[in-house]
Amino acid sequence: MHELLLAGFGGQGVMLMGKILAYAGMKEEKQVMFIPSYGSEMRGGTANCSVILSEEEIDAPVVSKPTVLVAMNTPSFDKFESSVKENGIIILNSSLITKETTRENVKIVKVPASDIAKGLGNERIINMVLLGTLIAVTNCVKVGSIMASLKEILPPHRHNLLPLNQKAIEDAMSLVK
Amino acid sequence: MTTKVLMKGSEAIAEAAILSGCRYFFGYPITPQNEIPEYLAKHLPKVGGTFLQAESEISAIYMVLGGAAAGARVMTSSSSPGISLKQEGISYMAGAETPCVIVNIMRGGPGLGAIQGAQPDYWQATRGGGHGDYRLLVLAPATVQEAVDLTYQAFDLADKYRNPVMILGDGILAQIMEPVELPEANNQLPDKAWAVGKNENRPRNIVSSSYPKVDELEKVSIRLHERYAQIKKNEVRWDSYLTDDAEYVIASYGSAARIAKAAIKMARAEGIKVGLIRPISVWPFPTEPFQNIVPQTKFFLSFEMCTGQMIDDVRLAIGNERPVYHYGRLGGVIPLPEELLAKIKELVKEAK
Amino acid sequence: MDKVSSFPKTLVDVPMHYCPGCTHGIIHRLVAEVIEEMEIAFKTVGIASVGCSCFCYDYFNFDVVASAHGRAPATATGVKRVHPECLVFTYQGDGDLAAIGTAEIIHAAVRGEKISVIFVNNGIYGMTGGQMAPTTLPEMKATTSPYGRSTALTGYPIKMTEMLALQDGCVYAERTKISSVATINKTKKAIRKSFELQIAGKGFSVVEILSTCPTNWGMEPLESIKWMEENLETYYPVGLIKDEKEVK
Ligand SMILES: Cc1ncc(C[n+]2csc(CCOP(=O)(O)OP(=O)(O)O)c2C)c(N)n1
Ligand code: SF4
Ligand SMILES: [Mg+2]
């Protein structure tokens, strides 16, 4: 079972990333749940959501000890670093997060996601970069399911962005291997 | 092959209402259920329906009364503070025997409270809520799929018993997304000979909760209570999990019941024989499954996201036969399965 | 220290929770400055309504009662009747004052309740995420008017301050806006006038302040000010609506 916690600030596409993962999981006939944070929490600038992907029925609609944390900025890293499950994974956007972890029993994967996105000409696809890293590191869903889901979720007038999204995902994946 | 779609609880409730033939929605914004009106604002016009935002919840519930009296399938939705405002209108609708569906996506209270999901309105929902001696049929879904199924059925039940039906959810259920299968659109709505409207070929209809003659009001009250007895007989819904050999039984509904299930799995892994009875209709309350399980049970534990309200119904069901405890978190704090597990272990230790 | 002299004592020096470019923060400061300058903080009671400003008690450094959505004028009435010597004001958004709270505000004016009303009109429900308000302009998109506000379905934007001015109990009504140093100063003057009239025992007064909600309008802060002046203001003209002298 994957319990993913995705966190960043509003505008980094955290919610979209979570929805795509849940969609992709559903396409693979997994049990899935997407849990957004909501309300005034979001006005402070940070946004986070959780996604559960499982082969079995999902019970509790809450992720308190994620198996994977994707931290897009320093406040998210500070807030959630300690919550990650033992032997879990922290994927962090090293373009913005320069701190080292204080945790000993987690795996750290550093990705200069903002820089990679900038290099691809669009800072807003930082979420796709990290999505690529996430699926390469965890194998939680297949890249094909992600692309198929993206197509369904993005409104047709955004479909021109699909190739760029795909490139961001694939570039990030190749960095892991 | 049935296709599944990924939907937010609130949007799924809205879509299920449309599929069930609801064409009128009157409401007023409040978090955490805004996606219900927002979804209907977008989609009702596409099926020839009407979405109208009222100037307040009070106004909205009386628009519902009007629409329902006119024979349509009508819904309103809100969250705790807004549901309090609707209580007067709900009482009038119960008295005037007008069917409708009311969704309460509960949040932390009292007063303005907080917008995070909680379960503090159980008493209000199951005891009538407003003034007068009446009941609502109250259905409490735990998953997005169940929210779809129960909302879909709620309109039929409301029409069948000519009584308001409440969907009692919480902020967690409304906000999470899960895959759902949607039912087919219902195109066969019941005839409502009692409704107001064009009346060329029938005697005039009056929809009212006013019975100034006491003997008349007593008769109406008796009729209503006979109907509630029918509902109690026909519409009790509940689910259970690992109760066959259970020595300890948790009572829990809605989102809390899912947390309970996770805790039960953990407890079972440690050899503790604990099970779950999950009321789906919280009114009528499923008393029988609780009564039937008394002989094998050492204690009951009511697990609710409030200070303990459903615990009263568990006690009413089983009397003084066994201890009934409560555990829960308040104000919108989501209790974790680990916490409940700790409580179960503590109680099991004490019971020995 | 310098800081103390420039920052009003009537405000708590903490970061506000409002979105970048939101005008609530400026209006809080104006209210606080007027109270400080009039040296009445010791006898001021603010009534918080329900909207993005519902946490204004975290910022105002004087007594505050938090009322329910739309009911601030009724709560203000209760406070004022118990403490007639106090300055009592409500701070209300357009959803709060012009939708759910219509009855309370009209009847406070009808009674000539000696309170001041700070009415922050951004044409939308900010706190709940951008739903249509009765003040929303025709054709304006909001989450509950996804195809633009239809006047055929929902009628026309409500002009509350004009309505309030019609009541004999209302002694002063003015509409201002927050867009520049000049209009901010004008707004401050209007707030001061309203408070002075109340202290002088006159009657009900209201200052409506055209504001912005960059977040739910989906605009950058500067763009939203321009939009406010070009759109909201054409429907809600800025200026004096009823002056004290007109009172019979
Ligand atoms: C009885 C009740 N209904 C609905 C709400 C939800 N609610 C909170 S704030 C708000 C609207 C606020 O809009 P406005 O007054 O315009 O203030 P703004 O946030 O735009 O400043 C609503 C509908 C509530 N808290 N209580
Ligand atoms: S949502 Fe709008 S009104 Fe509320 S704080 Fe943000 S900008 Fe201001
Ligand atoms: Mg507003």
pLDDT digits (tens, 9 = 90+) for A97-109: 999 999 999 999 9
What does pLDDT average to over chain B? 97
Please name the residue ranges forming H helices in C111-180. Answer: 151-154, 160-165
pLDDT at residue B86, as a whole number: 98
> pLDDT class for C2, splitting at 50, 70, 90?
very low
Q: Which of C49, C94, C122 to mutate to test the pocket of ligand 2 (most atoms within 8 A of CB)?
A: C122
The stretch C174-191 carries a mean pLDDT of 98
Q: Which of A32, A59, A65, A152 to mutate to test the interface with B (most CBs of B within 10 A)?
A: A59
Q: Which ligand is nearest to the CA of C216?
A: 2
| Residue B123 confidence (pLDDT) above 50 | yes
CA B62 to chain centre: 20
Residue percentage of chain A with pLDDT more than 70: 96
Please name the residue ranges forming H helices in chain B. Answer: 9-19, 35-43, 57-69, 80-95, 122-126, 144-161, 171-175, 214-234, 254-269, 287-293, 310-318, 337-351
The stretch A46-64 carries a mean pLDDT of 95
pLDDT at residue B199, as a whole number: 85
CB A130 within 8 A of CB A69: no
Going from the Cα of C137 to the center of ligand 2, the distance in angstroms, rounded, reads: 18
- Closest-CA residue of C relative to A40 is C127
Let me know whether B218 and B76 are in one domain. Answer: yes
Residue bearing tokens 């007639």? C84
pLDDT at residue A134, as a whole number: 98
| Residue A43 confidence (pLDDT) above 70 | no
Helix A143-153 vs helix A126-138: crossing angle, to nearest 10:
150
Let me know whether B164 and B308 are in one domain. Answer: no
> pLDDT class for B69, splitting at 50, 70, 90?
very high
Let me know whether B261 and B339 are in one domain. Answer: yes
Query: Which three-class secondary structure state does DSSP give residue B244?
Result: coil
Integer angstrom CA distances of residue C242 from C114, C161, C164, C167 = 16, 9, 9, 10
Q: Does B278 touch chain A (CB under 8 A)?
A: no
| Residue B43 confidence (pLDDT) above 60 | yes
User: Mind telling me how many Å the CA of B252 is from chain C's nearest CA?
Assistant: 30
Token pair of B229, please? 């007895």
Decide: C95 in ligand 2 pocket, CB within 6 A: no
| Phi, psi dihedral angles at B102 (to 5 degrees) | -120, 125
For residue A38, give the nearest of B175, B178, B259 by CB distance. Answer: B175
Residues B311-339 have pLDDT tens digits of: 999 999 999 999 999 999 999 999 999 99
CA angle A96, A98, A101 (to 5 degrees): 120
Can you tell me the ipTM of this complex?
0.95
pLDDT at residue A10, as a whole number: 77
CB B58 within 8 A of CB B85: yes
End-to-end CA distance of chain B: 51
Helix B57-69 vs helix B80-95: crossing angle, to nearest 10:
30
Residue partners of A101: CB distance under 8 A and separation at least 6: A81, A90, A108
Residue percentage of chain B with pLDDT more than 90: 97
pLDDT at residue C213, as a whole number: 97
pLDDT at residue A42, as a whole number: 45
**Neighbour tally for A44: CB within 10 Å:** 13
**What ligand 2 atom has the least distance to the C-alpha of C52?**
4
Going from the Cα of A153 to the center of ligand 1, the distance in angstroms, rounded, reads: 30
Pick the last residue of a domain from B195, B216, B234: B234
What does pLDDT average to over chain A? 93
Q: What is the CATH number for B347? A: 3.40.50.920
> pLDDT class for B138, splitting at 50, 70, 90?
very high
Ramachandran class of B273: left when φ > 0, alpha when ψ lies in -120 to 50, beta otherwise: beta
pLDDT at residue C80, as a whole number: 98
Going from the Cα of C72 to the center of ligand 1, the distance in angstroms, rounded, reads: 12
B179–A64: do the CB atoms touch at under 8 Å?
no
| Residue A11 confidence (pLDDT) above 80 | no
Question: Which residues of chain B have a CB within 8 Å of the CB of A39?
Answer: 31-32, 115-116
Q: Which of A15, A33, A42, A51 to mutate to test the interface with B (most CBs of B within 10 A)?
A: A33
Residue nearest to atom 3 of ligand 1 (CA): B82
Let me know whether B246 and B222 are in one domain. Answer: no
> What is the domain count for chain B?
2
Going from the Cα of C49 to the center of ligand 1, the distance in angstroms, rounded, reads: 8
B176–A60: do the CB atoms touch at under 8 Å?
no
Going from the Cα of C130 to the center of ligand 3, the distance in angstroms, rounded, reads: 8
Let me know whether B221 and B250 are in one domain. Answer: no
pLDDT at residue A9, as a whole number: 86
Task: Check whether the bond before B120 is cis (ω within 30° of 0).
Answer: no
What does pLDDT average to over chain C? 95
Beta strands at C63-66 and C44-48: parallel, antiparallel or unpaired? parallel
Residue nearest to atom 20 of ligand 1 (CA): C126
Going from the Cα of B29 to the center of ligand 3, the distance in angstroms, rounded, reads: 12
Range of the domain at B298: 238-351
Residues B184-230 have pLDDT tens digits of: 999 999 999 999 999 888 999 999 999 999 999 999 999 999 999 99
Question: Which residues of chain A have a CB within 8 Å of the CB of C18?
Answer: 43
Residues B73-107 have pLDDT tens digits of: 999 999 999 999 999 999 999 999 999 999 999 99
pLDDT at residue A44, as a whole number: 53
User: Mind telling me how many Å the CA of C151 is from chain A's nearest CA?
Assistant: 28
Pick the last residue of a domain from B210, B234, B258: B234
Residue bearing tokens 């309105």? B121
> pLDDT class for A12, splitting at 50, 70, 90?
confident
Question: Which residues of chain B have a CB within 8 Å of the CB of A35?
Answer: 172, 175-176
pLDDT at residue B2, as a whole number: 65
Decide: C54 in ligand 2 pocket, CB within 6 A: no
pLDDT at residue C246, as a whole number: 65
Let me know whether B127 and B252 are in one domain. Answer: no
Residue bearing tokens 């006939």? A29
CA angle C91, B78, B164 (to 5 degrees): 140
Integer angstrom CA distances of residue A93 from A18, A75, A100, A114, A131 = 16, 12, 12, 7, 11
Domains assigned to chain C: 24-246 (3.40.50.970)
Rounded distance between C-alpha atoms, residue C247 and residue C165, angstroms? 10
Integer angstrom CA distances of residue B282 from A74, B236, B246, B277, B339 = 45, 8, 22, 12, 24
Let me know whether B184 and B264 are in one domain. Answer: no
| Residue C129 confidence (pLDDT) above 50 | yes
Query: Which three-class secondary structure state does DSSP give residue B191?
Result: coil
Residue C69 DSSP class: T
Let me know whether B47 and B150 are in one domain. Answer: yes
Show me where the domains of chain A are located. 2-176
B258–A33: do the CB atoms touch at under 8 Å?
no
State the pTM of this model: 0.95
pLDDT at residue B312, as a whole number: 98
Chain B residues whose C-beta is within 8 A of a chain C C-beta are: 28-31, 34, 37-38, 41-42, 45, 50-53, 55-57, 81, 111-112
Pick the last residue of a domain from B234, B250, B271: B234
Let me know whether B83 and B205 are in one domain. Answer: yes
| Residue C248 confidence (pLDDT) above 60 | no
| Residue A14 confidence (pLDDT) above 90 | yes
Residues C184-235 have pLDDT tens digits of: 999 999 999 999 999 999 999 999 999 999 999 999 999 999 999 999 999 9
Question: Which residues of chain C have a CB within 8 Å of the CB of A40?
Answer: 17, 127
CATH superfamily of A2-176: Pyruvate-ferredoxin oxidoreductase, PFOR, domain III (3.40.920.10)
Rounded distance between C-alpha atoms, residue A8 and residue A117, angstroms? 15
Who surrounds ion ligand 3 at CB < 5 A? C 93-95, 122, 126
pLDDT at residue C247, as a whole number: 57
Let me know whether B192 and B325 are in one domain. Answer: no
User: Mind telling me how many Å the CA of A26 is from chain B's nearest CA?
Assistant: 7
Let me know whether B201 and B333 are in one domain. Answer: no
Size of interface A-B (CB pairs under 8 A): 59
